[in-house]
Structure 1
């Protein structure tokens, strides 16, 4: 049974229904299952916001236009605000992580981070379902959970604006690179995919204490050179760039939200002293930690 009635759902509607206490209403990240699924089956919807959906367990079947699609565990879906759809079926074991955000956020990231053809890539009418990319799935989940963690009322607006920009930039970059096929064209072996995934999981656990690529190479029983080559091929950045990026984001978070001194933050992030931490932070942000902490720079 289908319906010709179109229900337009706004981001404000969604946030009002979920009743989350958020710092900013520009985006929302939450986990979905069959019990808390908001949309009714067999009704036609169109959302006025953009979204990234990560399917963790189970599957959902939906119709868009005249075609029916199935999203299953491991799939990634990017959806834009030009599409109408109908939910047909949700499995009992369905679990997913959803992120929805406004067009203003996407425009801000796109204009500042990638080229003008981003809109053509992200606003196309075809289905942007990414399958069988476990390492990409893991990275997207990490970015989205970090955005969820940041969107809490006690965080100050400058912090939200700055670090949110970084994570949205990463998400847009990953999606555009994959969908456009302009960067991710080099074939990856199963071994390379597994290695990059293992590296990323180790990185989430140890990046605060371990900054040396050799540590991760040793943990993975490969050479430093080989790990660097595989990570660059699969994640589009060198291990050093990824570690530095994560340290910068964590530094900003601690500087703006914790009561720790700069010296204590330096030690918490694995630096030998405050001077080496300050040098690293200024190299990557153009600001000293003291200036950033006191002035609220983003």
Structure 2
């Protein structure tokens, strides 16, 4: 295992080297004997990681704050989290779901974005969830379902099956989190920044096709563009532009799947200045021109 400067490793180095099944998604079962080599190793996450604790206990450091973990805990880790296992008991066992950004980005739609980030804001500062037995069993079942799908790599619709398995998991997770009753203390602790961030998400869901600049969202929320940029980056690990452009890109791909819809009309619908500007944007995101992307869909 290569140790880079300052004892810092990113998640892809560790888990790609640790027998993940694809470059994009993996379900793994880990025990103490496999995890002990990662004790006190700092990991800076650049993707999404869910750890479901089956047995044993431990002390896990997330963003430099130590959390005690126990059976039926779920750790929700995403881009921008620093993660370190300080201690784990010899009977520690967990299931790990690793999702690369390539799959997370494929899941983007207005609805899924809102659900994913809605719980992400709540859990970013306290990314540890104590599950009831029924919810623990439900999420464990979803882990196993995704694992079964991963084994079907030769399936004609493999990618679509993976994405649907992930959507099902995220919807169940969002439901579990939203069912939790927030205490008065939790409500009081919701920061002004978190409120601004949720305002931004609500505006984004309505205006992303027509408003591509941070100035619009900041002006509507009554804060400066710089302040909004800082809030979004701090709470999500992504920029305002990342959110806007990913939604535009996802919408563009959906529209390009409609063979009778002219590319020029798509550019107009998404409020690009002209078809050329839309083409340059799409090629930066996909490596293909809109026409090449559409032709690739037709020939699949």
Q: Is the 8 A contact 2:54 2:72 kept in 1?
A: yes
Larger helix proportion of the pair = 2
Q: Is the 8 A contact 1:147 1:167 kept in 2?
A: yes
Query: Displacement, 1:147?
Result: 1.3
2:12 paired residue number: 11
Question: CA separation of 1:139/1:11 partners in 2, compared to 1, >3 Å: closer, same or farther?
Answer: same
Query: Displacement, 1:103?
Result: 1.7
Q: Is the 8 A contact 1:122 1:176 kept in 2?
A: no
Question: CA separation of 1:113/1:6 partners in 2, compared to 1, >3 Å: closer, same or farther?
Answer: farther
Give me the whole-angstrom Cα distance separating, in 1, the residues matched to 2:116 and 2:146: 22
Q: Find the partner of 2:170 among 163, 167, 172.
A: 172
Give me the whole-angstrom Cα distance separating, in 1, the residues matched to 2:43 and 2:153: 34
Q: How is 1:43-62 mapped onto 2 (pairs within 5 angstroms)?
A: 43-62=41-60
Query: Displacement, 1:172?
Result: 1.0
Question: CA separation of 1:96/1:117 partners in 2, compared to 1, >3 Å: closer, same or farther?
Answer: closer
Q: Is the 8 A contact 2:62 2:82 kept in 1?
A: yes
Question: CA separation of 1:143/1:117 partners in 2, compared to 1, >3 Å: closer, same or farther?
Answer: closer
Query: Displacement, 1:65?
Result: 3.6
Give me the whole-angstrom Cα distance separating, in 2, the residues matched to 1:121 and 1:60: 24
Query: Displacement, 1:119?
Result: 2.5
Please tell me the root mean square deviation across aligned C-alpha atoms, in Å: 2.8
Q: What is the CA deviation profile of residues 179-202 of structure 1, one whole-angstrom value per residue up to 9, with x for unaligned ones?
A: 3x2x5559xxxxxxxxxxxxxxxx
Worse overlay, 34-43 or 54-63: 34-43
Q: Is the 8 A contact 1:5 1:43 kept in 2?
A: no
Query: Displacement, 1:148?
Result: 1.2
Paired residues in the alignment total: 178
2:32 paired residue number: 34
2:139 paired residue number: 140
1:73 paired residue number: 71
Question: CA separation of 1:70/1:127 partners in 2, compared to 1, >3 Å: closer, same or farther?
Answer: same
Provide the TM-score with structure 2 as the length reference.
0.52
SS of residue paired to 2:66: strand
2:116 paired residue number: 118
Query: Displacement, 1:109?
Result: 2.1
Question: CA separation of 1:117/1:141 partners in 2, compared to 1, >3 Å: closer, same or farther?
Answer: closer
Question: CA separation of 1:171/1:112 partners in 2, compared to 1, >3 Å: closer, same or farther?
Answer: farther
1:289 paired residue number: none
Q: Find the partner of 1:92 among 68, 90, 93.
A: 90
1:284 paired residue number: none
Q: Is the 8 A contact 1:51 1:101 kept in 2?
A: yes
Structure 1: runs of 5+ lacking an equivalent: 187-298
Give me the whole-angstrom Cα distance separating, in 2, the residues matched to 1:70 and 1:50: 21
Give me the whole-angstrom Cα distance separating, in 2, the residues matched to 1:66 and 1:13: 20
Give me the whole-angstrom Cα distance separating, in 2, the residues matched to 1:83 and 1:49: 9
Query: Displacement, 1:64?
Result: 2.6
Query: Displacement, 1:108?
Result: 2.2
Q: How is 1:1-298 mapped onto 2 (pairs within 5 angstroms)?
A: 5=6, 7-11=8-12, 13-15=14-16, 17-20=17-20, 22=21, 24-37=22-35, 40-111=38-109, 114-116=112-114, 118-122=116-120, 125-152=124-151, 155-179=153-177, 181=178, 183=179
Query: Displacement, 1:149?
Result: 1.8
Query: Displacement, 1:93?
Result: 0.3
SS of residue paired to 1:35: helix
Structure 2: runs of 5+ lacking an equivalent: 183-300
